[in-house]
Structure 1
Amino acid sequence: MQAENDKMTWKVAKIICQIQEIEIEVLVKCPYCELRVARLNLKESLWECDRCNKEGAEEELLRLAQENFFDKHQMAYWETRNNKGVK
């Protein structure tokens, strides 16, 4: 439920910024070079890394971030899933 509320909040914020012609950029960690130098442009729904020059759509950035998170936390995920959080 919280994720849906957050998603709606971002959608509303993006619409307001478009109406008011405000350009917002958020610094995020680049999924390729792992540094917080990628800029996510909320108006255009695009991201670009200042260091490695990779770029793409925000949906791609979300997918890559989710994959990186799962890769780093895979062992904990399976332990929790298989043991129901109990050792």
Structure 2
Amino acid sequence: MIRIDAPSVKLCSRRCQNIAARLKGMIDPNQHETNALAAACETGGEYVESLAKTDLATFTAVEWSTLIDVVVTAFQDSLRIAYADDPPF
């Protein structure tokens, strides 16, 4: 009988996987993730420029939450498009 070793850690959720990954070190981003980060940076930069403010400390709560929404949405949209034609599995 051949024995196959199971992973030493079994995790219950994505949150636990993220914690375990942090403890083991970061995984380098793939090309899709690198491109998504660039897209998010560009979109976030455009939003900041539209406010005509350079001091982030002067952002209102709404401006901050909008910036976060703009950046996260751009990142996710970019990955969704990239993985539609090239799924990670």
Q: TM-score scaled to structure 1, two decimals?
A: 0.33
Say which one has the larger Rg: 2
Which of the pair is proportionally richer in strand?
A: 1
Q: TM-score scaled to structure 2, two decimals?
A: 0.32
